[in-house]
């Protein structure tokens, strides 16, 4: 149970990657592949924070709405958002209208706008563990929700002023952005980068 399973095309995938049609492309082409660039990582950081307490499919299906509402997650643009933007976002049915998460996104952009170009990318990737120290998970039950690295990353980001990024959210970010490869053994996406 929880091992790689064959999809309709006969290819083996992580079980979650076949749980909805929307997940197949995300699993095969995106999740676990390296993501670089401050704005790209800011987007993933924000979306993982919005996902907190919800299923990822809810966020995935609204991702284009989030991108539109948050100016493509360009840090410089979001850092300039005002109270009027907050009210606009709270009324936007294309996103998750959670005041605390919206406020955190706006506040985080203001903090990150003060960082040097590439600093967010370098910081996040500095927490990528050595792949040789991480055996491939046999089942999804072997995949942790939190690691020492995600706890340290969360603490570092919080120390630098970022909000709504706990160890579980940090680990989800690490998985989604390819810092770790948590595709199960036998999955077609395992080892792709």
Residues serving a catalytic function are: 26, 48, 56
Cβ(187)–Cβ(12) below 8 Å: yes
Output the CA angle 107-82-78, nearest 5 degrees: 55
Cβ(172)–Cβ(149) below 8 Å: no
Cβ(131)–Cβ(46) below 8 Å: no
Output the CA angle 166-169-172, nearest 5 degrees: 150
């Amino acid at each position: 149970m929880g091992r790689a399973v064959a999809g309709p095309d006969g290819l083996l995938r992580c079980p979650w990657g076949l749980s909805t049609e929307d997940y197949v492309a995300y699993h095969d082409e995106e999740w676990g592949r390296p993501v670089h660039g401050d704005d790209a990582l800011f987007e993933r950081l924000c979306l993982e924070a919005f996902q907190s307490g919800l299923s990822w499919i809810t966020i995935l299906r609204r991702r284009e709405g989030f991108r539109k509402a948050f100016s493509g997650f360009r840090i410089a643009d979001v850092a300039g958002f005002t109270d009027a933007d907050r009210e606009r976002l709270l009324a936007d049915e294309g996103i998750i209208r959670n005041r605390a998460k919206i406020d955190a996104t706006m506040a985080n952009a203001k903090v990150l706008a003060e960082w040097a170009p590439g600093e967010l990318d370098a910081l996040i990737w500095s927490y990528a563990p050595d792949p040789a120290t991480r055996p491939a998970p046999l089942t999804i039950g072997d995949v942790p929700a939190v690691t020492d690295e995600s706890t340290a990353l969360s603490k570092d980001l919080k120390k630098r002023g970022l909000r709504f990024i706990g160890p579980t959210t940090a680990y989800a970010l690490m998985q989604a952005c390819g810092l770790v490869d948590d595709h199960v053994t036998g999955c077609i996406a395992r080892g792709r980068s």
